[in-house]
Amino acid sequence: MSQLWDFSGGIHPLEHKDISTSRPIRRCGIPERLILPLQQHIGDPAEAIVEVGERVLKGQKIADVKTGMGVPVHAPTSGIIESLTEHPVPHPSGMADWCITLKPDGEDQWCPRNPVDDFHALDRDQVLEMIRDAGISGMGGAGFPTNIKLRPPRDRKVNTLILNGAECEPYITADDMTMREKADEVVAGLKVMAWILRPERCVIGVEDNKPQAIAALRKATEGTQTEIAVIPTKYPSGGEKQLIQILTGMEVPSGGIPADIGVMCQNIGTAVAVAQAVYQDIPLISRTVTITGEAVREPGNFEVLIGTPIEYLLEQAGVQQDKLSRLVLGGPMMGYTLSTEAVPVIKTTNCVIAATASELPAPPPEQPCIRCGECAEVCPMELLPQQLFWYSKSTEFEKAEHLNLFDCIECGACSYVCPSSIPLVQYYRFAKDEIRVQRAEQLKSDRARERFEARQARLEREKEEKELRRKERAKAAAEAQAKKQAEAEQATAEGGAVDERSAKSAIVEQALARKKAKAEANQSSPASQPAAEKPDTEALEKQLSQARSKLETMQSMLDDAKAQQADNVEKLERAVAKNHDRVKRAEEALAEARNTPGTRPTEPQSTH
Binding-site residue numbers are 369, 372, 375, 379, 408, 411, 414, 418
The verdict on 421 binding another protein (CB under 8 A) reads yes
What minimum distance in Å lies between the beta carbon of 232 and another protein?
18
User: If you count them, how many residues does the chain have?
Assistant: 608
Q: Are strands 79-88 and 47-48 parallel, antiparallel or unpaired?
A: unpaired
The verdict on 252 binding another protein (CB under 8 A) reads yes
Among 303, 410, 450, 509, binds another protein (CB under 8 A): 410
Under 8 Å between Cβ of 142 and 247: no
Among 202, 417, 554, 566, binds another protein (CB under 8 A): 417
Under 8 Å between Cβ of 217 and 165: yes
Among 48, 136, 306, 381, binds another protein (CB under 8 A): 381
The binding site for [4Fe-4S] cluster comprises: 369, 372, 375, 379, 408, 411, 414, 418
Strand ranges in 508-574 using DSSP code E only, listed in sequence order:
none
Tell me the C-alpha distance between 263 and 162, whole Å.
7
Distance between first and last Cα of the chain: 87
Among 223, 365, 495, 597, binds another protein (CB under 8 A): 365
Q: Where does this chain touch another protein (CB under 8 A) — which range of 244-252, 281-289, 454-462, 586-594?
A: 244-252
Q: Which of residues 202-241 bind another protein (CB under 8 A)?
A: 241
Among 106, 115, 249, 363, binds another protein (CB under 8 A): 363
What minimum distance in Å lies between the beta carbon of 171 and another protein?
9
Q: Are strands 79-88 and 96-104 parallel, antiparallel or unpaired?
A: antiparallel
What minimum distance in Å lies between the beta carbon of 286 and another protein?
26
What x-and-dash track marks residues 282-321 binding another protein by CB under 8 A? ---------------------------------------x
By CB atoms closer than 10 A (0-12, 13-18, 19+), residue 362 is exposed
The verdict on 403 binding another protein (CB under 8 A) reads yes
Tell me the C-alpha distance between 293 and 17, whole Å.
10
Contacts of 432 (CB under 8 A, 6+ apart): 405, 406, 408
Q: Which of residues 322-361 bind another protein (CB under 8 A)?
A: 324-328, 330, 332-339, 353, 355, 357, 360
Q: Which of residues 141-160 bind another protein (CB under 8 A)?
A: none
Among 115, 211, 253, 496, binds another protein (CB under 8 A): 253
Residue 127 one-letter amino acid: V
Query: What phi, psi does 406 have (nearest 5°)?
Result: -75, -5
Contacts of 131 (CB under 8 A, 6+ apart): 146, 147, 150, 274, 277, 278
DSSP output for 416-437 = HH-TT---HHHHHHHHHHHHHH
Q: Which of residues 422-451 bind another protein (CB under 8 A)?
A: 423, 425-426, 429
**Number of residues lying near another protein (CB under 8 A):** 75
Q: Where does this chain touch another protein (CB under 8 A) — which range of 127-135, 187-195, 362-370, 442-450?
A: 362-370
